[in-house]
Structure 1
Amino acid sequence: MRLKDKVCIITGSGKGIGAAAAKKFAEEKAKVVAVCDIDTEAVEKTVKEIKEAGGEAIGFEVDVTDKDDIQDMVDCLMDKYGKVDVLVNNAGIIMDAQLHKMDEDRYDKVIDINLKGTYLCTKAVVDIMREQESGSIINTSSIVGIYGNFGQTNYAASKFGVVGMAKSWAKELGRKGIRANVVCPGFIATSILDDMPEKVIKSMEKKVSLGRLGEPEEIANVYAFLASDESSYITGAVIDVSGDTTL
């Protein structure tokens, strides 16, 4: 019951790591989990699974690049619960290409969702958390956001960026009792890998000291810790959850 009575928002939580996190937060007895994603069907499925397991969740169709979508969600939560305790900026996309082949549209879309989306969602709750003098903000980066990676100029830039944001927010907001941290997953076994050839997945596993891909639940566990009061003296941290991956 580490998250008892906490009102939590998890972006990109229709499936994958975000859905695993939403279910984990509900298991930890969050007062409510706001499941938000651009994929409405995925949101409905996750909310249904949480409720069937005895948890509490509300679903929202949210485009993290749309300020009105975000504000409508936050207003709904404030009207019903009067607070926002946790924001997990999990939403993100990948659109890979080598630099000489990457067009501007592909670059802009990844930056808009992964980086600006994180800014917009946090901006929508920061005054609430300042007023409460409490809150936990968790940004999802990647080991690519630490080391860079072949063919991922846009993704690496966005994931470097959310690290810098969180470190800045930790300095700005700490005096108000608000913590900001970063989780850097490695290769995680989600549906994004479904169309990858087996030999590619095997080559990924060889780069991991633990010899396997991570599970979404293993990232969700770290989110839950950072959202909870057990991590009350952790802010500005960048946590590698990659099984020790070498890129």
Structure 2
Amino acid sequence: MLKGKVALVTGASRGIGRAIALELARSGADIAVIYAGNAQAAAATVADIAALGVRAKAYACDVADFDAVAETVKAVTADLGPVYVLVNNAGITRDKLTLQMKQEDFEKVIDVNLKGAFNFIRHTYSGFVRSRAGRIINITSVSGLMGNAGQANYAAAKAGLIGLTKSVARELAARGVTCNAVAPGFVQTDMTDQMPASAREALLGAIPMKRGGVPEDIANAVAFLASDATGYITGTVLQVDGGLNM
């Protein structure tokens, strides 16, 4: 149980992030809902979390902005308390074949998906060290493990996130802080709904379980890694992909 502890979830206004925030709230955590631009969706998520009997507050933040993240972490700590669970979930896609990919498309995906996670880890790091306890959970992707045509930027960012996870896990292990990653496969969200139907069907056909995941599948894995039961698990990548990458 996470009763009385604070969880900060980036990209928490919708999709996987929203499901994670709600699941951690069901475990008793107070939730900092970090969002990029959709204030209405963030407010709805906060209301649903509050209905579960815990505290929740939304914070607009560009995760790629180092200084903005520092200010956001300060605000969360002042409003709710020290962060015990950090979930780096915020992510975007800018899919194109490498030959057609623009420099800004590559850089933007790296900035949000990889640098954003670093920024939040960097600004919560000293708090974790002082507390000598905590959970960092990074949402990577099977694309970062196996690659994916048309996603050189996204796969590179997600692979980098795995390296970041393992490095931070080694740094903080002696302090009682774990750092793990969850690697979703194909999950039905607004992001995947934008895929061409033919590409979506081909991907579903490659999954041994013959179905896509749902955000709650990822949320359950995060809640597990955030729990007291996983204090001796660190530096691992938990695949939640229906067998896609095996």
Does TM, scored on the shorter chain, surpass 0.5? Answer: yes
By how many angstroms is 1:5 displaced? 1.7
Compare 58-67 and 156-165 and name the one that shifted more: 58-67
Work out whether residues 142 and 245 of structure 2, in 8 Å CA contact, stay in contact via their aligned partners in 1. Answer: no
How many correspondences in the alignment? 245
Out of 36, 45, 53, the position equivalent to 1:38 is: 36
For structure 1, the 5+ residue unaligned runs are none
Q: Taking structure 2 as the reference length, what is the TM-score of the superposition?
A: 0.95
Residue 105 (structure 1) aligns with: 104
Work out whether residues 95 and 110 of structure 1, in 8 Å CA contact, stay in contact via their aligned partners in 2. Answer: yes
Work out whether residues 186 and 213 of structure 2, in 8 Å CA contact, stay in contact via their aligned partners in 1. Answer: yes
By how many angstroms is 1:186 displaced? 0.2
By how many angstroms is 1:197 displaced? 4.1
1:176 aligns with 2:175: yes
By how many angstroms is 1:69 displaced? 2.6
Residue 5 (structure 2) aligns with: 6
Work out whether residues 98 and 153 of structure 1, in 8 Å CA contact, stay in contact via their aligned partners in 2. Answer: yes
Compare 212-221 and 52-61 and name the one that shifted more: 52-61
1:61-115, CA deviations, whole angstroms, 9 ceiling, x for partnerless residues? 1110122332222112222344110100000111011111111110000001011
Distance 1:128 1:200 in 2: 43
Residue 167 (structure 1) aligns with: 166
Match of 1:212, SS?
coil
Residue 150 (structure 1) aligns with: 149
1:106-158, CA deviations, whole angstroms, 9 ceiling, x for partnerless residues? 00000010111111111010000001111111111100000111011111110
Residue 126 (structure 2) aligns with: 127
Q: Taking structure 1 as the reference length, what is the TM-score of the superposition?
A: 0.95
Match of 1:181, SS?
strand
Match of 1:86, SS?
strand
Residues 7/246 of structure 1: CA separation in 2 closer, same or farther (3 Å cut): closer
For structure 2, the 5+ residue unaligned runs are none
Distance 1:153 1:82 in 2: 38
Distance 2:92 2:181 in 1: 17
Match of 1:87, SS?
strand
- Give the CA RMSD over aligned residues: 1.4
1:46-71, CA deviations, whole angstroms, 9 ceiling, x for partnerless residues? 11121234332111011101223322
Letter matched to residue 175 of structure 2: K
Distance 1:27 1:157 in 2: 33
Residue 231 (structure 2) aligns with: 232
1:192 aligns with 2:191: yes
1:61 aligns with 2:60: yes
By how many angstroms is 1:217 displaced? 0.4
Residues 165/123 of structure 1: CA separation in 2 closer, same or farther (3 Å cut): same
By how many angstroms is 1:246 displaced? 4.8
Distance 2:161 2:192 in 1: 23
By how many angstroms is 1:207 displaced? 1.0
Compare 77-86 and 88-97 and name the one that shifted more: 77-86
Q: Percent same amino acid among aligned pairs?
A: 40
Residue 90 (structure 2) aligns with: 91
